[in-house]
Amino acid sequence: MFSKILIANRGEIACRVITTARKMGIKTVAVYSDADARAPFVAMADEAVHIGPSPAAESYLIADKIIAACKQTGAEAVHPGYGFLSERTSFAEALAKENIAFIGPPVNAIAAMGDKIESKKLAKQAGVNVVPGFVGEIEDTEHAVRISNEIGYPVMMKASAGGGGKGMRLAYNEADVREGFESVKREGLNSFGDDRVFIEKFILNPRHIEIQILGDQHGNILYLNERECSIQRRHQKVVEEAPSPFVTPKMRKAMGEQCVALSRAVGYYSAGTVELIVSGADPTGESFYFLEMNTRLQVEHPVTEAITGIDLVEQMIRVAAGEKLTMTQDDIGIDGWAIENRVYAEDPYRGFLPSTGRLVQYSPPVAGWVEDETVAGKARRGVAHGAGSVRVDDGVYDGGEVSRFYDPMIAKLITWAPTRDEAADLQIEALDKFRIKGLGHNVDFVSAIMQHPRFRSGELTTGFIAEEYPDGFHGAATSDDVKRILAAVCAGNEFTLQSRARQITGQLDAPQPVTSEWLVKIGDERFEVTLGDGHAMVDGVRVEGTNSWRPGMVQAEATGKVGDGPEHRLGLIVERVGNQWKVTTRGAAHTALVIPQRLARHESLMLEKIPPDLSRFLICPMPGMLVKLHVVEGETVQPGQPLATVEAMKMENILRAEKEGVIAKINAAEGESLAVDAVILELE
């Protein structure tokens, strides 16, 4: 076994590998860029080596710097994590030349599966179902149009070396192909150094299912069941779970055996994932097709670990050291249900725009990388919670920064429970306990998904988000009982705030009474609240705990009950914003205005501030680089017409005209770095 390994990655995955290596008694070496000098993974490792400036192209993507760090520290092996150099054959070959072990698959397998065009050919030869499409290089846009017309719309254009949702465009017609083909080529070149593109038929009502593969260097290959990854946004996974609510035992066996056959055909060993697209329109569940094989650890691997009890990172290290697998296919079972939500630095209330900057406050529901606790007789990484467990994989810290140079993921929240509904309920409860300030995040959004009736029913497709939130995300649906509890919370905080103000020495000549009768406005709804001794009454709802409320602080919990009905127990974040209260819970943020009942009659005299009309300006919605201007001054544009393309977080975002008009002035040039809210152009 190795005595020291180097992790050629950063963030949560570096922390993840270090945790397992430490458990195995293996020393670790971290490598870091300027931006990551104070990152948690650097502090966790036994040694750390600085490898260059913040951009990945000048640090994490330079193989020579990684190898030099190995030589400097005496590391015998390298774990690449995911992304960066994890699927670069040249990196694995360079390590082999230096007699440094690569904790991953053999070079020939990386080469075969890393090229999506060649991998489809190999999959077909191995007897794996393949999506209909054009398997070959596409010359230019006109060639792409001809191929798409022959296949039949809709089609998916993909960068051959792509991954992680980058370098992908869905085209419903010829115009979409002409508009998106060059963007796919650019994203492939910028992110992966390869601008080749292929096109395949887009499967209607698709579900994204993937099979976890694990093999050793002695010819043993197993499949560790499946993961459901259908809930995606822009082809980037958001929610993953294991097992899938759609897959039957018969289907699981058929999928698993085909994926093992493909792995065997390329001599695969280590952990890997075969991604499949499944037609949800086929009630038999037999219409599944090969998409690609990822020859590395997946972001969503913890859900497989949770239901199988197998530490995938440990197995990767043992396989790389030449050990045999100690389990057989018959040993692989399914214990309970696991769900993972990715917490991203993005603002779902503003069209999921990337949000970079300082984490003014970061407090997860449980500490990251805690020791395993026993839950229901099983050892699981995370904190025991009733019959389940909560695990957070992260690589950020309170006061740290989410940099524009890397992926915007803040953390992964993994819950395990005996049933799917229990795992989802545990997600909602844990998400309410996340405390993130300083930048936008998607905690409300993923909480809303966990509560959504369609998610609960298991009727998922990759179009879930687009279909259920066609007009964008505006917060989870909130019941009337929950709103009454929120009204009581806000009234209680207002009461406490005013009571304290009255007690400040010298503020008033004499103490003044503070009313216990309040009118609370949440949106267009009005609630009458009466505060009692340690409780509040709102339209028949009794809310406990008012004597413990503290204005401006996190509200840990509030409990409300309607007669003999169910008890609502909420985790809350309460903040004072101007003269109002902002309360966030269960996937929605609510703003409340609290007025003493005696002043409610003067409510109509309060001024309402109307925001200015900015519709004639094209405003940059995120920090990024202006990749392309699609218009010139004096040009007439129509609603929906592309105006500019901005690259942020390695993704290209097309900004379109919201109304008809004439371009009066262009304020930015291609290649220019833009700040959020920068005015790119103006209409007459």
List, by residue number, the catalytic residues. 292
- Are the CB atoms for 647 and 624 separated by under 8 Å? yes
Query: How many whole angstroms separate alpha carbon 2 and alpha carbon 643?
Result: 54
CB contact at 8 A, 263 and 221: yes
Cα 83 to chain centroid distance, Å, stands at 15
Say if residue 634 is exposed, middle or buried (CB neighbours under 10 Å; 0-12, 13-18, 19+).
exposed
Residue ranges in 374-463 assigned as alpha helix (H): 420-431, 443-451, 453-457
**CA 290 to CA 211: how far, in whole Å?**
11
The rounded distance, in Å, linking the Cα atoms of 30 and 14 is 8
Residues 6+ away with beta carbon under 8 Å from 431? 341, 365, 413, 443, 446, 447, 450, 587
Six-digit token pair at 308? 């199988």
Is the separation of the CB atoms in 570 and 543 below 8 Å?
no
CA 132 to chain centre: 29
> What are the DSSP calls for 55-107, one per residue?
SGGGTTT-HHHHHHHHHHHT--EEE--SSTTTT-HHHHHHHHHTT-EESS--H
Show the tokens assigned to 647: 């690259």
* Two tokens, residue 176: 């979409």
User: Phi then psi for 91, rounded to 5 degrees?
Assistant: -70, -50
Rounded Cα distance between 444 and 276, Å, is: 29
Rg (CA), the chain: 27
- Among 301, 281, 225, smallest CA distance to 257 is for 225
Check the CA dihedral 53-57-60-65 and report its sign: negative
Instruction: Report helix, strand or coil for 448.
Output: helix
d(CA 558, CA 77): 51
CB 341 within 8 A of CB 431: yes
3-state secondary structure of 423: helix
Q: Is residue 20 a contact partner of residue 317, using CB atoms and an 8 Å limit?
A: yes
Tell me, rounded to whole angstroms, the distance of Cα 48 from its chain centroid.
27
Terminal-residue alpha carbon distance, the chain = 69
| C-alpha span between 616 and 49 (Å, rounded) | 50
How many Å apart are CA 381 and CA 15, to the nearest integer? 13
Residue type, 77: A
Q: For residues 265 and 274, what is the distance between their CA atoms, to the nearest angstrom?
A: 13
- Angle between the N-to-C axes of helices 174-192 and 141-151, in degrees from 0 to 180, rounded to the nearest 10: 120
Contact indicator for 598, 624 with CB cutoff of 8 Å: no
Tokens of 384: 């025991």
Helix, strand, coil share of the chain (percent; to 5): 30, 35, 40
Q: Which residues contact 306 (CB under 8 A, 6 or more apart)?
A: 242, 336, 338, 380, 389, 391, 414, 416
The 617-619 sheet, strands edge to edge: 617-619, 679-683, 661-666, 636-637
Distance CA 289, CA 405 (A): 34
